[in-house]
Chains A and B, each alone.
Chain A
């Protein structure tokens, strides 16, 4: 632990103590002062080229670049002195002389650091008039990325990311002086599995995602903190929605999990969250038909089924289901013998070489660890094999292929389907209950390292859909306001903790936005 004494500095009048070696720009954050910058990034090596972060340090004759100047005991730093502000204003003016007036057509508008700082402290007009601006045509850098050289401020974050974090040096700075631009070789385009991060890193609208091109304005977006459902890494993300439609996924910083990055798979795989072919009302079997129903009668029907039907149970769950849903649905099946399985899709691993323990994982579901802790098995075959004997079959939104659907069709047991999207497989079900997908509810995932992280509701439910944990809670504990069934994710999580000691203790508030590692309990204990 830190026996090394902290270094005390004063920044814009506020005193802070920070570990030795901390750059002034980071110390300033602790003091609540944001030093404007472009090329600096906490996950990249600092080249100090943009010159925005120059600050005045008392007793030093020249302005110091805060991103590469370490704190010294007793330093007095002025971020907003007239000298420092004048220097920043100079940098901004220089950056704008060749920068096109593209704001009306530029994707970055509204979340552009050039706009932000110019608005905050730039000149109100340019003195670079009557001169032509440098012009270069837009370039296609690869699968999802466009490069607009005219807007580039040569901060070189993209080059440093590919060089030092992705360890695939396929971007360069070409030419010299004001002719410089970011270059790429035709033989090696930007198809690295983590290349999409350069779009986020770009402070301006120079590197753009084709997927997001001209799709939505930044100020129309609602941003919700969530967790990527793409694999067991559990990268922290923001889900950006506009009018209740997910339009973009971006990384959210978490120094313990994904630092500032997400892979291109997680970034691009969000369209399923917007699917329109949804089950919109509960359906209950009446004879040979499934009839739309209200929640209460549907829940009563399911509760009755589970009470009366004998025999073993099979629970086929989607790996995208949250921990609360997985746990409470399993619990809902009562004391009978049960095979509960979660379907794991596999893909190739793609590490981000420059960050320890960060990769697109082979297991392409977000909650494998959570499922295992709750007693689910990943051996899907085992569950399928148990189908013919099962008295009750519950499907928790699992994505079944044609063979699996045929097996389900043949199995005699009573089928209860909790699902998001329409499927032929539930045509023989006793009850079909519409549930929310992970963007439409609050819940948690446990990543491969045992970190429990919250995902939050980013858009409204479709139709009458409710979270699966709510459904299970109602069935388990009863309908009505006095029954004690969980009404919020927090309550569902607390209820989970009552059944599984591994989850007892922390509340949603404790998990916060960056999650918390749980002490591991052996799988299945407390089930």
Chain B
């Protein structure tokens, strides 16, 4: 549902069915709502059929990368005798995205159950839920839910009498967007600076504490119990056309819409309808100007592109952007595109871990050039400079933070060049004072 708004009839409510319902937070409440059936089913099913089921369902990572989940699970070794780990990525920090927080604060048991199922499948006896430090409201909720889960024998030793042990630990982050990158998260877990690691080795070979590990997003994990309960065909059926993008997705719609919130729709849903119908459309007298469909790290779409777009991985990619985390930032005609992009580059410059030269220096430089432009001190050569810097920052680093900084810059200049030129020519007044 588009919490805090009531469910829209055109939503397909699966993960968000109980958003806004405090009773769903408790163990009993969750059981009453059909919870903790899937884990029992999974335990009976066995690991290989379970992994196959998830593969068949077409579930893809909902954190942003869209990697096929079942395939990721299958990378874990079967008989190596080493401890395996599941790390749940609850570091949600991608600007525009606010779905995982809702899953955790309304339906923590949905997440816990997903963790249990995956942990069983990948032979992990310990799950770390890595929650970003700023989620202060969520920690007590999650801890309480875990206590209940342990008390109800759903977590801990010998869950539901199955002989399987699964321990779940909440690990608190301390303020770093980069920890949402899976290998940086593993470093933060291990008590190190949150620097992304070079791959190979991949986490399934050497992850947390050097052991085979799988990292999955909260929303991905939350979908798992439903897939186990209802089957792969059901999940695949929740796709409006493109067979490679199945199931539902929580789209976090924010910015210039009347009803910002999380909307759960099937993959392939028309973006135009999501914005103008479900999310209430523009404020009075305003028109749509631009949309960032998947969190600030993906290219910007013009209004025309957005309104012609279906929301699945492939369709958005065809339009030159990415579905990413599904954080939809909607911008109307009051938006200063250049200033908005500048503020994104400041974000990336703040969050760069400092390992790679291009990212460490380039994010800051990009932000400074844009700052000069909106101060009215830009030069005509600045646009080519920005494009050149963005080229240098793309495809050349350990992780994609610098690519993410470049994406809005490149797409912004390409699609809204006029706005930049207005600043450069002086026909637009500076948005910032010269300091």
Contacts and interface: CB of A to CB of B under 8 A. Distances in A.
Contact of B385 (A50, A62, A94, A127): A127
B358 interface: yes
A180 B396 CA distance: 20
The 9 closest A-B pairs by CB, nearest first: A90-B392, A180-B354, A94-B361, A177-B352, A49-B355, A178-B364, A62-B395, A94-B357, A91-B357
A521 interface: no
A68 B353 CA distance: 20
Contact of A51 (B372, B391, B396): B396
Contact of A178 (B193, B361, B396): B361
Contacts, number: 83
A144 to B, nearest CB: 27
Interface in B315-331: none
Nearest to B364: A178
A54 B372 CA distance: 31
Interface size class of B (residues with CB under 8 A): 20 to 34
Given A51-B397, A65-B198, A95 B354 contact: no
Given A177-B353, A178-B363, 7 more contacts: A48-B398, A52-B357, A54-B396, A68-B198, A173-B193, A175-B354, A177-B350
A432 interface: no
Q: Which of A61, A127, A177 has the most B CB atoms < 10 Å from its CB?
A: A177
22 contacts: A47-B355, A50-B356, A51-B356, A51-B358, A51-B396, A51-B397, A62-B396, A63-B395, A68-B198, A90-B358, A90-B392, A91-B357, A94-B362, A94-B365, A130-B372, A153-B357, A154-B360, A175-B354, A177-B349, A177-B354, A177-B360, A180-B360
A176 interface: yes
A92 to B, nearest CB: 9
Contact of A47 (B198, B350, B357, B397): B198
Contacts of A94: 357-358, 360-362, 365, 392
A87 interface: yes
A452 B193 CA distance: 45
A102 B396 CA distance: 29
B346 to A, nearest CB: 11
Interface string A185-224: 0000000000000000000000000000000000000000
A98 interface: yes
A176 B352 contact: yes
Interface string B332-357: 00000000000000000111111111
B352 A95 contact: no
B176 interface: yes
A272 interface: no
Nearest to A177: B352
Nearest to A98: B361
B368 interface: yes
B306 to A, nearest CB: 28
Contacts of A176: 176, 350-354
Contacts of A54: 396
Nearest to B199: A68
A178 B368 CA distance: 12
B358 A91 contact: yes
A95 B368 contact: no
Contacts of B358: 51, 90-91, 94
Contacts of B398: 48-49
A122 B356 CA distance: 18
A176 B401 CA distance: 13
A154 B395 contact: no
Interface string B350-394: 111111111011111100100010000000000001000001100
A97 interface: yes
Given A49-B355, A177-B351, A63 B396 contact: yes
A508 to B, nearest CB: 44
A61 B396 CA distance: 11
A290 to B, nearest CB: 66
A135 interface: no
B198 A87 contact: no
Contact of B198 (A48, A50, A131): A48
Contacts of A91: 357-358, 392
B360 A87 contact: no
